[in-house]
Structure 1
């Protein structure tokens, strides 16, 4: 497998229609007209992913006040996402991309470095999508800790 294609500002955000932890579906088309922060994380209920999800949870009110919807995406099954939501009181949708089609389309699945080894997996990434469904920001290889604070600053919210 080669390095994934990367999205850039101005690109059309790849469409998605994925199941959530609650059994509902979330689609990019259904979010049209709103700004969206879609963040990709490797696995629910792991230390880094939990820290990142809790940071988004704790910033959700101010992000929503600024017009942003937050959606987390991982290859976890909906049942695992439901446990994650319940355990950590996650208050935004978590979508399941079990076959990694959407993650791949966003360039958030592919070869990456992990502890000095090349592995294939989810590349921790965040995408800011405008009201028309275009990529405003595509951030790859983000850190789990401190990322939300940096994103807030980059969006002019702090």
Structure 2
């Protein structure tokens, strides 16, 4: 078992909102990163819609929220348009950030084993430390739970 991360690994990734996003450049704002397996799948769609619906409340609390998957920006743009998402999505096509955060792991589905993104969320404080980590997220009510945790920072 690996040690849990204490400091969020820095990264720079392309964003659907234009310019690249560098995690350390967002300080001192708290940041929510939700890693999800794929655009336009049912759980990922529900999760992205939930974070989009609560985005004004996250912003009112001073936080920035980003969804991250290995999908391309083109795929993300289609996902945003189809689902009317407001939360910016970051593309980690090479998977480096997913690996750095420990969310790229072996998964099992229908008796098959494969590598993929384990749905996970990180709440990062204004100093770049991981204040809270939700591994193996269950989508229902999750965005609201993250918002409540943000308010305790």
Hey, which bits of structure 1, 4+ residues long, moved more than 4 A?
none
Does residue 7 in structure 1 map to residue 4 in structure 2?
yes
Aligned position for 1:51: 46
Aligned position for 2:26: 31
Task: From the superposition, tell whether residues 123 and 83 of structure 1 become closer, same or farther in structure 2 (CA, over 3 Å).
Answer: same
Unaligned runs of 5+ residues in structure 2 are none
Cα pair 1:6 1:106 within 8 Å, conserved: no
Cα pair 1:50 1:88 within 8 Å, conserved: yes
Q: Which has the higher contact order (CA 8 A, sep 6+)?
A: 1
Cα pair 1:22 1:82 within 8 Å, conserved: no
106-115 vs 96-105, which moves further:
106-115
Cα pair 2:123 2:150 within 8 Å, conserved: no
Equivalent-residue separation in structure 2 for 1:94 and 1:124 (angstroms): 15
Q: SS at the partner of 1:24? A: strand
Aligned position for 2:15: 20
Cα pair 1:13 1:129 within 8 Å, conserved: yes
Cα pair 1:7 1:135 within 8 Å, conserved: no
Equivalent-residue separation in structure 2 for 1:6 and 1:49 (angstroms): 27
Unaligned runs of 5+ residues in structure 1 are none
| TM-score scaled by length of structure 1 | 0.87
Cα pair 2:61 2:151 within 8 Å, conserved: no
Does residue 93 in structure 1 map to residue 88 in structure 2?
yes
Tell me the matched-pair count: 152
